[in-house]
Structure 1
Amino acid sequence: MTGHAQTLRPFLSRAAQLYPDRELVARTGDGTVRYTYADYAERVGRLASALRAADVGRGDRVATVCWNHHYHAEAYFAVPTLGAQLHTINPLLPADDVRHIVAEAADRLLIVDASLAETLAAAYDPDAFESVEQVVVVGGETPDLPFDAVVDADAFVAEHDPDPDYPALAGDDPAGLCYSSGTTGRPKGVQYTQRMLWSHTMAILTPAGLDIADRDVVMPVVPMFHINAWGLPYAATAAGAKHVYPGPSPDPADLVDLIEAEGVTLTAGVPTVWLGVLEYLQDHDADLSTLERIVIGGAAPPERLIRAFDDRGVEVVHGWGMTETAPVGAVSHLKPDLRDADYETQLSKRTKQGLILPGLEFRVVDDSGELVPHDGESMGELLVRGPWVTTAYYGREDDEAFEGSWLRTGDVVTVDGDGYVELVDRAADVINSGGEWISSQALENAIMDHGDVREAAVVGVPHDRWGERPVAYVVADADDREALITDACARIREAYPDWWVPDRFEFVESVPKTATGKFDKVDLRDRFEGSLDETVDATPPDEAE
């Protein structure tokens, strides 16, 4: 016999029944919104009823262009519980990409922040947005938008039933749609079923995942428009934890204030967010005594960031995932035999992408498809499969991305003897110098461990003899740049061969970012014209000792 369908709705209904007074808190442009799980369930019900009255049903797509706040959290449940797909649109994408994904997804209804209305209007094209029948504006006055039907959110849900007759859904029914950032081409859509998001939620609730419980106060800083805020809105609800949403464009002071005021225990975001918080804490007193864990993904956390938060009694938990894995696929927790190891040994594990989550399978293969040994040195592409890993892209065939049920992640990794996966690089970002690989990510981490470096991105550029050589783009506060370069090169030589040292350091005001906050290496490579000459600073691979 099979159990009841694996869908999202029971997560919210259980939370409303068992934790009716637990809070959801959101920072907005006008102040703070605060209500209980009982209120949350009613507000979700009204929105679901309003969507149903607007003829949104199974398989339809409702798009959001929103920041991290309570309205967005309500859409996270209201849309999927109708069997429709929540299509979260990244407002930082180029306008042409927004037009492409709206047209391809054929979104029927669009929910937009008033503060992002201008961004939406700039992307508007009557052909691309032909499918959009109505626009619902949240968080402010209804602006003038080039759509036939534009309505304020409060008016949209007014008088609707807070307890609708939800349709019976199956695990294979649709729930979500998220597009990649498209740095190497057009964004590609990944569909999530009810079962995929249910499975992912159950996995990250566990100690092997993000270990979320009802005692937690969870603040997703990672955007809700980017891979479901790493699944935290669903997991926090499933656990009965308190939600805290930081709203539009939070700065370090906003984040620290929310941690203090709301007693945040768990938060998540990319490394640059927490480096900014550390800078803020150097000059401001703050009480972070409630904060237990910071989940970092999108890029590896520099060692100095982990050490700095360790000194404050806050654990940095490193995770790995991607749009195609819904997204969390690995988390770096210490195995029992490592918990008594010396600090440096533990740190070497914690900076890795970690252990593949229970429920997923993985393998690492070389260019010929052969398995590579788990020796911490042999490199290969990571392949994964499991109940929350996609097997196809929306509206297209991409045979190169899949091998049957296996997803080819495009990530080049090693796996050590303890099973910890370490991301060496994206396949597109590995630097091939004289036939040998150099990890741009490893170089970035080594450079960013310098206290005066705020950001560092490394790319391979053409070289007359060696094919490619690394060039580092650095954002730094140091007045003595030559001393910084000398120190950074020494750090690299401590861990890697001499020929890994970048041939050139370029100091910039900021490193360009993709729409998902990652370093835009395509942009950086395009900045470099011509090719590097022979240098005496780097020893070629075939001459290294």
Structure 2
Amino acid sequence: MSDLTLQPFFWRPTALFPEKRIVSRTADGVTDYTYGAVGIRVRSLVAALQDRGFGSGDRIGTFGWNHHRHLETYFAAPLSGAQLHTINVQLGDDDIVYIVEDAADDILFVDPGEPFETIERLWDDLPVDEVIVMSESIPETNVNAVAYEDLVDEYDPVAETDLPDLEEDDPAGMCYTSGTTGRPKGVEYSHKMIYAHAMMVMTPAGLDVSERDVVMPVVPMFHVNSWEFPYAATMAGTTQVYPGPAPSAADLLALIEEESVTMTAGVPTVWIDLLEHIDEHGGDLSSLERIIVGGSAAPEEMMRRYDDEFDVTVEHAWGMTETMSIGSVSRPKARMDEWDRSRKYEKRRKQGLLSPGLEMRVVDDAGDEIDWDGESAGELLVRGPSVVTEYYNRPEANEKDFDGDWLKTGDIATVDEDGYIEIVDRAKDIIKSGGEWISSIALENALMAHDAVVEAAVIGVPHEKWQERPFACVVTAEGTETNEDELLNFLDDELDQPDWWYPDEIREVQIIPKTATGKFDKKALRNQINRNPTNE
């Protein structure tokens, strides 16, 4: 029996779908080429890596956005026997140096422009000897750098029969957690894990990725394998559209219109921005069928707008770096087809049904499993073939975050009678007031259902009597007006909770800080509020 490695993922699309297209927006312009060309270029890159002595035991770092060259490294690195390590281009300097040193990267593939300037600035503090600039040329620099296209052109492709023998337990990928509560932690993926997860993502019970789709992954390729789209979509022979560096709402809309994109994926803030852009400038989403959202809960009002105005289904997914991203997807079961729209939305706004191959437990503080009644809450634990069982080089975190082969996700969840998971909050974000729990996510989603509110983030602030109280920050749409009393009354209508549930203050702000992966940065928000505790 053959091992479960990435070699079949590489062979299938290049052999069976050589004519299918990959469209890529880069700093050099738009590249439009085929899987057949990808196969040749990947094998040339393998030859270049081998000539530099890279193979088993080595780690290939990448520092770039979503484009075709990055996709090629997704295959060339593991097919050479090395391990691909994707690094978040939006991290601060200290975290970048820490991650590259901790991972002991041997070489870096870096995007031109700001990513290269960052590496150039940090060069003396990094352990690597060479940088491959993912471009047609390199800027004048003191860094030991080579242009990606020169490298690919220089080497003849390795014959497929001459690719290194791989084993399914060999390291193939690596990603670091966001580090919102401490130093980022390294998470390693084997060939078998990527194989299992990509196959799950392709299935109808996963994200249902088909050869007939045109997929545009907006979730960054430096973040958890871009939710597995580069591997799953490639394996399926799907037409792929990559939006390139820091795409704006206008960039995304243009690609959807020009390439007839059918499926896309990213954090909710991306799709809120796209709606705002269409409201102001217009746009055609007639080709688009589905938007996959994750990272944080999508406001139901946003989901309804896409549904009502554009016939686009927004599907919730849940996952973590430690689960290789997708761990659940929410869509109604077949027997719910006859339900009315409101009942279906009760399911769709949740994080959904656990992905095939995974197991879960939801436990209270005593370690006992909660009832599946949609109300009892506890910490979500998961395990399965795509879930890691330890962190790289972090024994103290391993002891805290794992229970045998069970991952303690840190997510507080309920499970309803139909098995649908709803993430109530992160354990670190849930607000504990007077011995009761208040869900920051529920408050945020309710606030964002108000017509004037574009974004909302809720945190717990210290309180002398009640331990913590909820504090909300909102960004309002241009040209709209609202006030704290109106929003509090709106919350009461939306949630129908006791008075102590609602924020003591709702502050209008220009910007809510976000993490490098597009989530609300509540750690930074708490620091801001602590520096400016009054609404002066």
Q: TM-score range by the shorter chain?
A: over 0.9
Distance (Å, rounded) in 2 between the aligned partners of 1:283 and 1:29 = 27
Distance (Å, rounded) in 2 between the aligned partners of 1:392 and 1:335 = 34
Q: Which residue of 2 aligns with 1:525?
A: 526
- How many residue pairs get aligned? The number is 527
Gap change, CA 1:385 and 1:492, over 3 Å in 2: farther
Q: Which residue of 2 aligns with 1:119?
A: 118
Q: Which residue of 2 aligns with 1:539?
A: none
Give the drift of 1:304: 1.1
Equivalent position to 1:365, from 359, 363, 366 = 363
Gap change, CA 1:371 and 1:532, over 3 Å in 2: farther
| Aligned partners of 2:484 and 2:505 also within 8 Å | no
Partner of 1:517, secondary structure, is coil
Gap change, CA 1:532 and 1:63, over 3 Å in 2: closer
Q: Which residue of 2 aligns with 1:187?
A: 184
Partner of 2:530, secondary structure, is coil
Q: Which residue of 2 aligns with 1:325?
A: 323
Give a deviation string over 1:97-146, Cα, whole Å, max 9, x none: 000011011101100011121122233343xx22x121101125313445
Q: Mapping of 1:63-78 within 5 angstroms?
A: 63-78=61-76
Q: Which residue of 1 aligns with 2:508?
A: 507
Gap change, CA 1:479 and 1:37, over 3 Å in 2: closer
Give a deviation string over 1:29-52, Cα, whole Å, max 9, x none: 332101111001111111111111
| Aligned partners of 2:491 and 2:502 also within 8 Å | no
Counterpart amino acid of residue 372 in structure 2: H
Equivalent position to 2:270, from 263, 273, 289 = 273
Q: Which residue of 2 aligns with 1:498?
A: 499
Q: Mapping of 1:395-406 within 5 angstroms?
A: 395-397=393-395, 398=397, 399-406=399-406
Equivalent position to 1:176, from 169, 173, 176 = 173
Give the drift of 1:289: 1.7
Counterpart amino acid of residue 151 in structure 1: V
Counterpart amino acid of residue 379 in structure 1: A
Gap change, CA 1:81 and 1:494, over 3 Å in 2: same
Q: Which residue of 1 aligns with 2:58?
A: 60
Give the drift of 1:161: 2.3
Give the drift of 1:480: 6.8
Gap change, CA 1:253 and 1:494, over 3 Å in 2: closer
| Aligned partners of 1:8 and 1:81 also within 8 Å | yes
Give the % identical residues.
52
Q: Which stretches in structure 2 are left out of the alignment for 5+ residues?
A: none
| Aligned partners of 2:484 and 2:507 also within 8 Å | no
| Aligned partners of 1:444 and 1:458 also within 8 Å | yes
Partner of 1:337, secondary structure, is helix
Give the drift of 1:523: 1.4
TM-score in terms of structure 2 length? 0.95
Give the drift of 1:290: 1.4
Give the drift of 1:484: 6.0
Partner of 2:154, secondary structure, is coil
Counterpart amino acid of residue 440 in structure 2: S
Equivalent position to 1:141, from 124, 137, 141 = 137
Give a deviation string over 1:253-306, Cα, whole Å, max 9, x none: 111111111111110011111011111111333222211110000111111111
Partner of 2:9, secondary structure, is helix
Give the drift of 1:386: 0.2
Partner of 1:288, secondary structure, is coil
Give a deviation string over 1:485-527, Cα, whole Å, max 9, x none: 4145433454233211100011111001111111111112222
TM-score in terms of structure 1 length? 0.94
Counterpart amino acid of residue 248 in structure 2: D
Distance (Å, rounded) in 1 between the aligned partners of 2:431 and 2:532 = 14
Gap change, CA 1:144 and 1:260, over 3 Å in 2: same
Distance (Å, rounded) in 2 between the aligned partners of 1:470 and 1:309 = 30
Gap change, CA 1:518 and 1:395, over 3 Å in 2: same
Gap change, CA 1:145 and 1:184, over 3 Å in 2: farther
Give the drift of 1:453: 1.1
Distance (Å, rounded) in 2 between the aligned partners of 1:146 and 1:187 = 29
Q: Which residue of 2 aligns with 1:418?
A: 418
Give a deviation string over 1:9-63, Cα, whole Å, max 9, x none: 2112111111110001101233210111100111111111111111110121000
Q: Mapping of 1:143-542 within 5 angstroms?
A: 143-147=139-143, 149-164=144-159, 165-311=162-308, 312-397=310-395, 398=397, 399-477=399-477, 482-483=482-483, 485-495=485-495, 496-529=497-530
Counterpart amino acid of residue 91 in structure 1: V
Distance (Å, rounded) in 2 between the aligned partners of 1:122 and 1:330 = 40
| Aligned partners of 1:450 and 1:488 also within 8 Å | no
Gap change, CA 1:530 and 1:166, over 3 Å in 2: closer
Structural RMSD (CA): 1.6
Distance (Å, rounded) in 1 between the aligned partners of 2:57 and 2:277 = 45
